Every structure is written in structure tokens, then in C-alpha cells.
Amino acid sequence: MSYAAHRKDFAPFATRIEARDATPPVPVGFWSRLLKAVRNSRRRHADRQIARFIEGRGGHLTDELERELMRHMTASPHYWGMRL
């Protein structure tokens, strides 16, 4: 026989998060927040650029498109006519 636990069986363990995390969170400094914001902005920009690249070539991710995307992302920005 098999047994699948019901979520109510785990409720006492899942609701006591405050007891496990007794240490207060470490305050994050200005520079850490700034660097995180810059990193997230660059990641979103890269995601938009990849989505635009895929949409411009049919919208389906194939092996050939993936290889072309890697060449595009690792090539010099001047080769592709991009301004950084």
C-alpha cells in the first residue's frame, strides 16, 4: 500500500517558521542594494533582448536558433550594431 500525506499533516511544522528564524535579518547596505538593482536591470535587459531576438526569427526555439543566439550574445556588440 502507498500513502500520500495530506497537507494538514504538515501544518504544525510549516506554521512555526518564526521559532526557527530567531535571528534578526542582517541590514543590507546601500551599495549592496545598488549593485543588486544594477544586476537585476541588466538581467531584465538581456531577457528582453533574447525575447526580441527569438521573436524576430519566428518565435520557436530550435537548435539552430539557439546556436545563433549564442553567437549573437557572445560576439562583439559592434559586430551586431548594438550600442552599450
Q: Render each residue's pLDDT in the chain as its tens digit; 84 residues.
A: 566 666 666 655 555 555 555 677 788 899 999 999 999 999 998 889 888 888 988 888 889 988 988 888 787 666 655 555
- Which of 45, 41, 43 is closest to 83 using CA atoms? 45
- Which of 45, 50, 81 is closest to 68 using CA atoms? 50
**Domain ranges within the chain, ordered by starting residue:** 27-72
Tell whether the torsion through CA atoms of 58, 61, 67 and 71 is positive or negative: positive
Q: Residue 24 has what pLDDT?
A: 74
Cell (9 digits) for 65: 536558433
Q: Residue 2 has what pLDDT?
A: 64
Q: Residue 82 has what pLDDT?
A: 57
Query: Is 72 within 8 Å of 53 (Cβ atoms)?
Result: yes
Cell (9 digits) for 10: 504538515
